[in-house]
A and B are shown apart, each in its own frame.
Chain A
Amino acid sequence: MRDVAVVAFAQSKHERRIEGYNEIEMMMPVVGELWERTGLSANTVGFTCSGSTDFLAGQAFSFVTILDAIGPWPPISESHVEADGAWALYEAWVKLQMGEIDSALIYSYGKSSPGDLPKVLTTQLEPYVTAPLWPDAVSIAGLQARALLDSGKATEADLAEVAVRSRGNAKANPKAQLAGDFTVEQILAEPYLANPLRKHDCPPITDGAAAMIIAAGDLARELCERPAWIRGIDHRVEAHALGVRDLTDSPSTRLAGQKAGVGDGKIDIAELHAPFTHQELILADALGLGDDVAVNPSGGALAANPVMAAGLIRIGEAAERITAGGADRAVAHATSGPCLQQNLVCVLEGEG
């Protein structure tokens, strides 16, 4: 494989409701920051790929107006995935592997505030039998959490500990939506939102955007003092129906992790896209992360969960820690679909 690295990453300040700004206005400053930092532009970058979903915007072809905003003139080589930006990164990485271009812009965004997100996500379910029953996304996550607790692999206190750590880590993240000091006891005293999940076990509803530039070989070194090299990237999907898989495990994450080479060296930090506390435990287990790995130093999706950008942000957060010298080898993960149905794993490394 060709050497490709994350050389620049930017994200918006994530908020419960970004009022007075549409998706274009939310996205433009983030992309603009990358142009300023790298000296690249829509015309000089080799490829552009974005990730988003029409179901958040409530409009067909919603990605089209966002593309207009980045100024594709003269025309650019460009594509879009109806998915989290992490999969847009994958498509762009494939394009660079073909060897004809040396750089790509990836961007993604999600403005959840105009709709009812748990119900919007219901439309992701099998459409003829399941979706018409309108099971909402939090209740479905509750089923998975219950299965995990019943299996004996975790306790409610273990879930609360994830929330305490995430909220605490997020205090150092200026882009985070939720942060603060909590105790396990405080969280366990909360009422259930969707038994056994409490409010702190669930992600906030977030408006936000993110963008990234990747580059190959010497161009990466030119654009960034310490590029975060993508040593492996792979994604796998599982069956859709919840009844046919073991919800307490994530075999697709395990397989993607093996293909991406997670176990090939020591991992310093991991940014896992776990919107719910119990999912972080499932993912860490599937990836075989030891206790010495700092999981979600950014606070993770529990601190800010802009749908369709939260996965790309995990990769960006991991890459920034490598670029800043705080980590040498990191694993980043993105998820999609109900109860961790689809998972992407990316291994990043710094040089020297």
Chain B
Amino acid sequence: MAKQLAAIVGIGQTNHTATRGDVSIAGLVREAAQRALADAEMTWDDIDAVVVGKAPDFFEGVMMPELYLADALGCVGKPLLRVHTAGSVGGSTAIVAASLVQAGIHERVLTVAFEKQSESEAMWALSLPMPFSPPLVAGAGGFFAPHIRAYMHRSGAPPHIGCLVALKDRQNALKNPYAHLHEHDVTFEKIEESIMLWDPIRYSETCPSSDGAAALVISNEAGGDANGNAAWILGTAMRSEPTMFAGRDAVNPLAGQQCADDVFAQAGIKDRRAEIDVAEIYVPFSWYEPMWMENLGFAAQGEGWKMTEEGATAMDGDLPINPSGGVLSTNPIGASGMIRFAESAMQVRGQAGEHQIDGAKTALGHAYGGGSQFFAMWVVSGNKPG
């Protein structure tokens, strides 16, 4: 039997902020899920199965919280599956949910990803001890800063590129009512003058810690047809490689390249830069935009930063990246990947409001996690394939 068509017919996300003190974890996920159901014009009874994703359980201190969330997510009597693939989890979770439909097992699946980072201290939760290494890593920024320095050295990128990405994403976030950061007075100078946290990563080139959740309703072909404005899934891919291995390139990971090759091949895309209208990619530190432009094959090696400098990745550029404001403006870690996937679907459905890219028909959603070693991607289209 062959893989079946699946489509995103409902999308919901919470309002994201540093502390959602007004809701429990259950209240948070329910807010996103109910918005997705409302968007799909469905009720809880229409859902066949639920797939939940989040990053480490230690963030909230609840072991396997999906068990406690079963009631809030309307799953009593239904299948409930929990995915955890580090920072890429939001993307992986959407892919697992899609596969339940693509395999013909279920007709309509609800998938939810969340993080309530205010119930934790993400900086130290992410400071993992590395065997045989001095404990110098402070947070994810401490881990990724050397990779960024290596990229700058390798590509000869000028030092202001990271600030340009941050300015673009924070300005884009002003158009997104759900975004965590709304910095109305942001300027290039303010970013450049912000404190250096992990050289070369400045404070304003860093993602925030957010509370938030995202949810999708994924339907089979009949449901996609009935919806009339579905985002059709053209391809999904996941790849993993080791954290520590002398042969790997943490600046341009092979897992990311192969994941991109796979997902674009499934979607029938040959000229990636020309055929993708908009992309939501996982950029928690500004320099990951040019790095991922190369890893995803949108730019040649060493040339990714030129796309940023030329404005190609701006809202009015030829390949807009993160019109939502991206992870740099909103980062509930376990949900961040699913927000990328959701935003890509919103774009091809023409649903993105002020940050809509006119005429967007084909979009990439991208997430990565761990030590740049886990990748999850999908390509969605407003046009039904075939």
* Contact surface of B with A, Cβ cutoff 8 Å: 1-3, 24-25, 55-65, 67-71, 75-86, 92, 96, 99-100, 102-105, 125-126, 128, 237-245, 247-248, 253-255, 258-259, 370-371, 373-374
Contact = CB atoms under 8 A, between A and B. Distances in A.
Given A61-B370, A234-B79, A78 B238 contact: yes
Contacts of B244: 68
B67 A255 contact: no
Contacts of B105: 94, 97
Interface of A: 1-2, 48, 53-55, 59-61, 63-65, 67-68, 71-83, 87, 90-91, 94-95, 97-100, 120-121, 123-128, 131, 234-241, 251-252, 255, 336-338, 341-342
A234 B82 CA distance: 15
B68 A240 contact: yes
A125 B253 CA distance: 39
A237 B80 contact: yes
A289 B171 CA distance: 63
A237 B82 CA distance: 12
A237 B78 contact: yes
A281 B73 CA distance: 30
B249 to A, nearest CB: 11
Contacts of A2: 1
B84 A99 contact: no
B334 to A, nearest CB: 11
Nearest to A122: B63
B82 A79 contact: no
A76 B3 contact: no
Contacts of B374: 78
B370 A238 contact: no
16 contacts: A53-B63, A55-B63, A55-B64, A68-B243, A71-B242, A73-B242, A80-B85, A81-B83, A82-B83, A87-B81, A91-B96, A97-B104, A99-B3, A123-B62, A236-B78, A237-B78
B3 A74 contact: no
Contact of B70 (A98, A128, A235, A238): A238
Contacts of B80: 235, 237, 342
Nearest to A127: B62
A126 B63 CA distance: 10
Contacts of A121: 63
Contacts of B240: 48, 67, 72, 75-78
B258 A79 contact: no
Contact of A60 (B25, B56, B75, B79): B56
A83 B64 contact: yes
A64 B86 contact: yes
Contacts of B103: 94-95, 97-98
Chain B, interface SS category: loop
A39 to B, nearest CB: 22
A74 B77 contact: no
A341 B242 contact: no
Nearest to B99: A94
B110 to A, nearest CB: 13
B76 A125 contact: no
Contacts of A239: 70-71, 76
Contacts of A252: 77
A238 B67 CA distance: 9
Contacts of B241: 72-76
A125 B68 CA distance: 6
B128 A79 contact: no
B85 A100 contact: no
A80 B56 CA distance: 12
Nearest to B67: A337
Contacts of B242: 67-68, 71-73
Given A68-B242, A77-B239, A127 B65 contact: yes
B82 A54 contact: no
Contacts of B239: 75-78
B68 A127 contact: yes
A234 B239 CA distance: 26
Q: What 5 pairs across the A-B complex have the smallest Cβ distances?
A: A75-B255, A60-B56, A97-B103, A78-B240, A82-B84
A342 B174 CA distance: 43
Given A71-B242, A74-B254, A83-B64, A237 B76 contact: yes
B2 A237 contact: no
A100 B76 CA distance: 32
A63 B370 CA distance: 10
A337 B65 CA distance: 10
A127 B254 contact: no
A250 to B, nearest CB: 12
Nearest to B119: A127
B68 A237 contact: no
A48 B258 CA distance: 16
Given A123-B61, A236-B79, A59 B1 contact: no
Contacts of A342: 67, 70, 80
A79 B92 contact: yes
A97 B2 CA distance: 8
Given A60-B126, A81-B84, A74 B76 contact: no
Contacts of A94: 96, 99-100, 103, 105
B259 to A, nearest CB: 8
Nearest to A93: B103
B64 A336 contact: yes
Nearest to B256: A75
A126 B85 contact: no
B118 to A, nearest CB: 14
A67 B255 CA distance: 14
Contacts of B81: 81, 83, 87, 90-91, 235
Given A54-B58, A97-B105, A73 B128 contact: no
Contact of B243 (A65, A71, A78): A65
Contacts of B85: 79-80
Contacts of B82: 81-83, 87
Given A78-B238, A82-B64, A124-B64, A53 B77 contact: no
A256 to B, nearest CB: 8
B128 A235 contact: no
Given A60-B125, A63-B84, A100-B3, A95 B70 contact: no
B77 A236 contact: yes
Nearest to B375: A75
